[in-house]
Structure 1
Amino acid sequence: MAINVLPKTKTPKGEHAMRTRRTLYPQKSEMYICELDQCPLCGEQLELSRYSSGHKIVQNLSSTVEVGYWPKQCDSPGCTNYGEKWRSSEWQQIAPMYCTYGFDVITTIGWQRQASRCTFEEIHSDLAGRIIISEAQVRHLYHERYLPLLASQERTRWKELEQVSREFGLILSLDGLAPEGGEPQLWVVRELQTGLTVRSGWLSEQGQHAFENFLRPIAETDLTVRAVLSDKQRGLLPAVNEIFPEARHAFCQLHYLKNIAEPAASADETMKVELRKTVREKAGEIIRPEHVEQPGVLTVTGLLPSAVIENPTAEGKTEQHSVDQVEQERQSIVDSLIRRVRYLLTLKGRPPFRMAGIEMYQGFREVCDCLEVFIAHISDERLIRLQHGLSEALKCFTDDYDQLSEVAGWLIHISTLLDPDENPSRTGDEVENELVEYLDQLLEQNKDNPTLFIFASKIRKTTRNYASGLFHTYDLPALPRTNNDRESEFRRLNQRLLRTTGQKGTTKRMIQRSGAWELIPRPGSLEETISVFSSVDMDVFREERQRLCNHRSRFKLHTRSGKKVRTELEKLTARWLELPQDNQKR
């Protein structure tokens, strides 16, 4: 028996060609019977229906099978479900409703896409030898089936969330992905003890009211929120206080460290730019040109590669060097030092602990020390000029370097002071007292140094602003010190989509269209995912599919394809013309 997989398409007017419908031939047939004996609503005995239902051909990875089921119905007139038919649970675990691909096919597509980071072309190439499927169908099954199933399966763990709420209270982590060019911002609310996604979606603005509307559905449940971890975002603070007044609001300590480092990082960036400019002025003639056999060409391979310069000290070579070999060796050493200087000029900072200006100064200082040894052995004119230029440049920034290095030491000490692994067990109050005492010491020690006193004062002020949410983590063991996990999720999502799309623009568009679903964590293995997906409530799955389709429909006209735009505009026009005309005079 053959059943059409694709629906019959109408032939457009003026065209005589028709699309050939694909047919499948099942290897076996299986019929299921509704497993219920009594009506779940009224308790009366269910009767087997005289007609079977749910006939379709399903492609699994192992075989192609025709399935169907015998439903049961309640014939009690007083039952609210009178006359309605109950499906077979086992039949529903073969494939989703109105889908001819089994859960194992759908899960394999999603697993290869997310876990193995395969492109749709690669996934199709893998499946094409086992089932009849096109690349377009692979893409459709991933977006329209797998992602909604992923969200639906997580909802089956609601009781687990309720249990954690009753026993410990929920600990929520909030973070948003940086928006792109005015686009809505993707935000995620995770429960840290279970890893469940409580809320994930887009905000068109980041004000207090938007955050309140985003968080209020959580507060309207019976769940108890014990603590909230987030960045210290302006609109978020009053929103959390309003929605979760009893919860402790903790701030990410890494963001705190970045903020207290910001004044020093800004001064360090200024020093870096000026030091780089000065080095180029003092030693630019030495470091700028690259010594090569042919100007403008470095190392080349291929059928016509560049010449190979033999290393005179390599194994098997004589220890007696010719004049040319000695000169080549001297030039190679000089080139290496110059390349080191050129590299140092390109350094970039990563506050709070990687200060490019400090690192550049230290790097130039090391090169100068090395040059002194070289010059004492061989008085090379190029090395002398390089050392003189670097030394003159460094003299101009010694005071700046000393002061910024001291501030960098403060930051490291503060980070160590906050680290629970580097200290004995302490309460939040004890950590706060230690930090305040240390900052007071800094102010006292540097009151005669205006520059360092300003840095210390700014650190003290920022600490006061963060104090209300900086120390909860020491009193709640399950509360992390940082929100890095959420940021890592965003980073991994971007990397994964970039790997599967190959284009940054496409990656950004995919995050806007389905990022909330892409961020949902998947089960631990392929087999577990298949099992969980096959037990998802189909009504929940249908609603989730509709939710995803509604969101993706926002972007139908977000395309530069003239053909797609015309098609969508024609659809809008047809919908508009179906509306009743307004004959009222205006």
Structure 2
Amino acid sequence: MRTKNRLEAKDSKYYKPEITHCPKCSEKLVYCHPVWRKTISTLEGEVKVINLGYRCDNETCSNDTTYRSAQAEHISMKHITYGMDVIANIGYLRFQEHKTRTEIMEILNEKQVKISDRQVQKLYERYALLLRANAKENAEGILNHVVKEHGGIILSIDGVQPEKGNETLYVIREVLSGTVLAAKNLKSSASTELMELIKPVMDWGFPIQAFVSDGQQSIRLAIEKLAPTIPYQYCQFHYFKDIAKPLVEKDRKLKTNIKKKLRGIRAVERKIDQMGTKTHEAEIAEDYIAAIRSVLLDDGKPPFDLPGMRVYERSKAIKTSMEKCRDKKGDYST
């Protein structure tokens, strides 16, 4: 029994083919039937899409092709009820923001996209599939330009595991251009499986100047077996991250201590709520509470953007502002 569609679209969009005349006889195409229709969940809301089919009505013409809208086909993938914008957003949150499957689900739900963590995983796999399918075709022109300008390409290899126990997604990028060349989910991080990922990229024939990775032993072994004469470098970001661990630990303690001293804002909020009629001073206090709350949620990206120092600087700026306000208007503490 077919389950009821969980999506309820308020709007419907009809799409016609981009070509209006038959390529063979030049007769005008006429509507025949809807090629497909489905409700799609996008970042902008749920919409019902109907892709209309048109064909040549000339009886003497041998063209029996049913033409459809390419624009409609680009809205979502076949057998998927989510838009390509949702799939792209999942890829961005995973690769750029390093969010977990559950975190991605929560972010999309806040954007009114109905999705479960299991569906996030499926769309995440589709995103990786799209990367693999288009990598070589889209990358060759960019790589030719890089080789012409720099004499060769530099490859970085990194693995991302959304959650423990899941497959690890390994991605190969060209460093100088930032182009993704390959992406594949691997059940094992063994050097033999990594070699099967790296070798097809090497077979493209572009001169490789160096490899860069986070120092993972299996990656280094795979590179050593495939390209023993090509230089290998430990990723500078991971290098700085390792040597900065003592500083990051002290910064973490600084952040924790500062945030402990800012935890009393809820009591101030209660006093303001009990006042009944809000005064101008109470409104100012609410603005400062909002600023302090944003500090509590603030975070950085060590080792180059230390969260403790960021919280310290923002807290100091709020304190300076409050002192100036008190000096000008008097002490409005409640």
The normalised TM-score by structure 2 is 0.49
Higher relative contact order (CA 8 A, sep 6+): 1
TM-score (norm: length of structure 1): 0.31
Higher helix share: 1
Q: Which has the higher strand share?
A: 2
